[in-house]
A and B are shown apart, each in its own frame.
Chain A
């Protein structure tokens, strides 16, 4: 007996000469793909499914906003100022007689854009820097990581405020501010994955075959980071939506008359006593959106994690 066989592999009873009956092989499940496994795990998670449904509803609202309401988001009607919720105006009207539900429906477009664009931007920056730093190591890596330390040392709202002060308040500048604040976390995650991946055999094989470094990084290493990037992306969206609301509240985010949810709450602040629905309704939508994306992200993280599988 060779020394390579571990004790638990030594057949205890069945003599090796007797062939196994065929049905024992049929009972084994067919091999599944990674994505199938992920879906299997995701499907069993009720919270995650709820989150996905919520996100789907949000996208539906954003895409079909004009079809879902007879009003326009900027239609001022001074006859119906600050009306409470009614059959004609399901969530009431604001101080200019604009239909609140309409503004919230159109606002879902802005919230989606504000959730997705800065998150993509900050992840593009963070991923590139993380790939470069993790791959090359040495001084480049040190410089990138110290820069990340510095950005992470700032309380994020304050840093975003400073960037908005410098650039001026607008929706586009908000994207930049949130990206400036957000890239550092991504770069740390990607870097740590690259450092472990670059020692793997498939990377060694690429190098031996003379594959160029950018190709190795983007075609071979990046796809292996994708699960964590997808999770970071999904969990980054609610963060960006909340930051937008806060910055708009402080006057350095989106500017009126943009129907951003944060801004609608701000405008409702003055009517909190007489028309509380203006401030309350958009907040409920923010809360539900953030919860939906958090459930989606948590569900994806658990589904991607091979150790969580039942």
Chain B
């Protein structure tokens, strides 16, 4: 087990280094002078030169990259151009909000997705099966910000049940979580359905039925337990992708999370902040996938750790 995790960690190191390199190259080596952007006009060449030196912008690109990499390893992501504060602080302050949103969305996805998948599998081709699969298809076919606007219009403007946006009570979390979790709920439902359908064809299910077990017991105790294996893995991957997918949801609902930091950084042309936010979320996704792999191997004794 430990060996497996260690092995996967070692394998992900080149990917992590590659991610930092690609990100740095995209944001730093391409033309465009950040100082000129910061300073606007009417600034003497001397001042620009001094600021460039202060920010180490006249060093060769590879020196700057190594400095960025070494900083990132120690948890130092530089300082925001606009806010003049350490990027790492800004991100860590915003992260709990993003995390809360992602967890709420994941909970919605599981609570809705798993029962929907079970019902669809048990009553294959029934009206409820078609309904749930339609629901699942809708989730992946709509732009997230559009469904967010629809929800705002319906539940905040028309019905007045929930606040339009903001982040100061649990009510504010309902719409963002549902909007963000909808596509995940759809994926979970489809996967639960197909996985359960496959398991229900197995011999041990027939045995369980033959010995006179009730239908519900067969489905829940024998079927679902085995069918959940791929679902659990996908759910672990989804927590990570929900964290990253929150970019748009956070923007629509005005939630002060990491995704909104990234979007704000783009609008403000604040390169270190954008770099830090994207790196943070990407590393999170990489470790989320790693956790999913480990979880799968741990749950399924057929998969050998080495």
Interface residues of A (CB under 8 A from B): 146-147, 149-151, 153-155, 157-159, 161-166, 238, 242, 245-246, 249-252, 262, 265, 268-269, 272-273, 276, 279-280, 283, 286-287, 290-291, 294
Q: Is the CB of A153 within 8 A of B153?
A: no
In B63-82, the 8 Å CB interface with A consists of: none
**Interface-located stretch among B99-107, B245-253, B293-301:** B245-253
Task: Find out whether the CB atom of A251 lies under 8 angstroms from the CB atom of B267.
Answer: yes
- Contact code string B2-43 (vs A, CB < 8 Å = 1, else 0): 000000000000110011001100110010100000000000
Chain A residues contacting B266 (CB-CB under 8 Å) are 161, 164-165, 250-252
Chain B positions 108 through 124: 1 when the CB is less than 8 Å from some CB of chain A, otherwise 0: 00000000000000000
Interchain CB contact under 8 A, B27 and A153: no
Contact call B141/A246, Cβ cutoff below 8 A: no
> How many Å lie between the Cα of A273 and that of B153 in the bound state?
7
**Minimum CB distance partner of B286 in chain A:** A153
Q: Is the interface of B mostly helix, strand, loop or mixed?
A: helix
Contact of B262 among A158, A163, A249, A291 (CB under 8 A): A158
Tell yes or no: B172 within 8 A of A by CB: no
Contacts of A290 in B (CB 8 A): 141-142
Smallest CB gap from A158: residue in B: B278
Of B145, B150, B274, the residue contacting A165 (CB under 8 A) is B274
Q: Is B143 an interface residue (CB 8 A)?
A: yes
Q: Is the CB of A158 within 8 A of B30?
A: no
For A150, A242, A269, which residue has the most chain B Cβ atoms within 10 angstroms?
A: A150
Bound-state Cα–Cα, A291 to B136, Å: 12
A165 to B251, CA, bound (A): 17
Complex formed: what's the CA distance from A165 to B266 in Å? 6
Chain B contacts to A: CB under 8 angstroms: 14-15, 18-19, 22-23, 26-27, 30, 32, 137-138, 140-147, 149-150, 152-153, 157, 241, 244-245, 247-248, 251, 262-263, 266-267, 269, 271, 274, 278, 281-282, 285-286
Does B143 lie within 8 Å of A151, measured CB to CB? Answer: no
Shortest distance in angstroms between B128's beta carbon and chain A's nearest beta carbon? 18
Query: Given A283-B142, A294-B137, does the pair A249, B251 have CB atoms closer than 8 Å?
Result: yes
Q: Which residue of A lies closest to B274 (CB)?
A: A165
Q: Are A149 and B15 in contact (CB under 8 A)?
A: yes
User: Can you list 13 residue pairs at the A/B interface with Cβ under 8 Å?
Assistant: A149-B18, A153-B18, A161-B278, A162-B26, A163-B26, A165-B27, A165-B269, A246-B248, A249-B145, A252-B266, A283-B143, A283-B150, A290-B142
Q: Inside 8 A of B146's CB, which chain A residues have their CB?
A: 245, 265, 279, 283, 286-287
- A-B contacts counted at CB < 8 A amount to 124
Inter-chain contacts of B142 with A (CB < 8 A): 283, 286-287, 290
Residues of A close to B145: CB separation below 8 A:
245-246, 249, 265
What 16 additional pairs, Cβ within 8 angstroms, besides A158-B282, A166-B27?
A: A147-B18, A158-B278, A161-B247, A162-B26, A165-B269, A246-B143, A246-B145, A249-B143, A250-B251, A251-B267, A268-B149, A283-B149, A286-B142, A286-B143, A290-B142, A291-B141
* Cβ–Cβ contact A265 & B153, under 8 A: no
Beta-carbon contact of B149 and A279 below 8 Å: yes
Chain B residues with CB below 8 A from A155, complex form: 241, 244-245, 247, 281-282, 285
Alpha-carbon distance between A153 and B27 when the two chains are bound, in angstroms: 17
Residues of chain B lying within 8 A (CB to CB) of residue A276: 153, 157
Q: Do A245 and B18 touch (CB < 8 A)?
A: no
Whole-angstrom distance between the alpha carbons of A290 and B138 in the complex?
Answer: 10
* Nearest residue, chain B, Cβ from A292: B141
Chain A residues whose C-beta falls within 8 Å of the C-beta of B147 in the assembled complex: 283
Asked if residues B157 and A246 are in contact (CB atoms below 8 Å), the reply is: no
Selected contact of A287 from candidates B22, B141, B251, CB within 8 Å: B141
The docked-state distance in angstroms from the alpha carbon of A294 to that of B286 is 28
Cα(A276)–Cα(B244), bound, Å: 29
Residue among B140, B143, B244 with most chain A CB within 10 A: B143
Closest CB in chain B relative to A141 CB, distance in Å: 15
- B26 to chain A: which residues have CB within 8 Å? 162-163, 166
Q: How far is the CB of A296 from chain B (nearest CB, A)?
A: 13
Residues in chain B near residue A291, CB distance under 8 A: 137, 141
Per the bound structure, the CA–CA distance linking A189 and B245 in Å amounts to 25
- Tell me whether B248 and A272 are in contact (CB under 8 A): no
Q: Are the CB atoms of A245 and B274 closer together than 8 Å? A: no
* CB pair A158 B251 closer than 8 Å: no
Q: A242-B143, A249-B143, A272-B157 are in contact. Are A162 and B274 (CB under 8 A)?
A: yes
A272–B153 contact, CB under 8 A? yes
Q: Shortest CB–CB separation between residue B251 and chain A, in angstroms? A: 7
Distance in angstroms from A249 CB to nearest chain B CB is: 5
Known A-B contacts A150-B18, A155-B281, A252-B266; A265 and B274 likewise in contact (beta carbons under 8 Å): no
Partner of A157 from B32, B138, B244 at Cβ < 8 Å: B244
Residues from chain A with Cβ under 8 Å of B274 in the complex: 161-162, 165
Question: What distance in Å separates the Cβ of B37 from its nearest Cβ neighbour in chain A?
Answer: 12
Q: Top 3 A-B pairs ranked by shortest CB distance? A: A155-B244, A150-B18, A283-B146
Q: What is the bound-complex CA distance between A149 and B19, given in angstroms?
A: 9
| B-side contacts of A287, CB under 8 Å | 138, 141-142, 146
Q: Which chain A residue has the least Cβ–Cβ distance from B241?
A: A155
CA distance A165 to B268 in the complex (A): 10
| In contact, A158 and B247 (Cβ under 8 angstroms) | yes
Q: Which of B30, B149, B150, B247 has the most CB of A within 10 A?
A: B149
A302 CB to nearest B CB, Å = 14
Closest to A242 in B: B143
